[in-house]
Amino acid sequence: MGPLAALRRYAQPRAASEERCDLCSVILGPGHRHLLEVASRKVLCSCDACAMRFQGVIEARFKLIPRDARAAPGMEMSDAQWEGLAIPINLAFFFYSTPAGKMISLYPSPAGATESLVPLETWDMLAAANPALGMMEPDVEALLVNRVGEARDYIIAPIDACYELAGLIRMHWRGLSGGDLVWAKIEEFFQRLRKGIEPRMDANGHGLREKGGEVCRT
């Protein structure tokens, strides 16, 4: 395609609900895949053809974000461990950033996803007690923690779902306490995430997950 033809294509008016692949511009349907631009942490929409180019790719500009959240089998976190992570609210997600070479902690806020320093010693102790954390895929999977009220959700979630939660809070937060609507939206988000998690167990009670076409124990 020549440059003028490309410009004409981009000049065509788009329907308000129309989404296109950020790599090839093909029109996307609902439930399309997402890619992460690793250096910038930007989430991109992708068609299946472009997404499959990054299936299993380790060192590349983009990484394919998994579709589904999953349980962290046997995950335990005491109040003291949580307080040791120094998160100012009871919602946060943690992932390993390959460009930064360290664990990153982000918590949702009215201003968007806000970064907080992860105390290395506290995280190392938590990871040693919870082997499921070692199964997270760098950059594109995160431990999503919800300790609001009586909730104790510990979910290994795709990074785009974590940013979705941050965007939801930024959109609906009102006043100092957020307002009833934002807390209802947060609960709806976690209900939807929980429904998509169906832990699979082997005969010995170990959790199972699929990775690269193979079934792995966690």
Q: Residue-wise pLDDT tens for the chain (218 aa)? A: 444 444 344 344 444 468 999 999 999 988 899 999 999 999 999 999 999 999 887 778 999 999 999 998 889 899 999 999 989 899 999 999 999 999 999 998 888 899 998 998 899 999 999 999 999 999 999 999 999 999 999 999 999 999 999 999 999 999 888 999 999 999 999 999 998 885 544 434 444 443 333 333 33
Q: CA dihedral defined by 4, 6, 12, 15, rounded to 10 degrees? A: -170
Instruction: Return the structure tokens found at 150.
Output: 């009586």
Q: Quick one: pLDDT at residue 57?
A: 77
For 3-29, how does the pLDDT look when each residue is reduced to its tens digit (9 = 90+)?
444 434 434 444 446 899 999 999 998
For 42-52, how does the pLDDT look when each residue is reduced to its tens digit (9 = 90+)?
999 999 999 99
Alpha helix stretches (DSSP H) within the chain: 3-11, 48-52, 79-84, 120-129, 159-172, 180-195
**Residue 173 backbone phi and psi in degrees, to 5:** -65, 135
Q: Quick one: pLDDT at residue 208?
A: 43
CA distance 92 to 175: 21
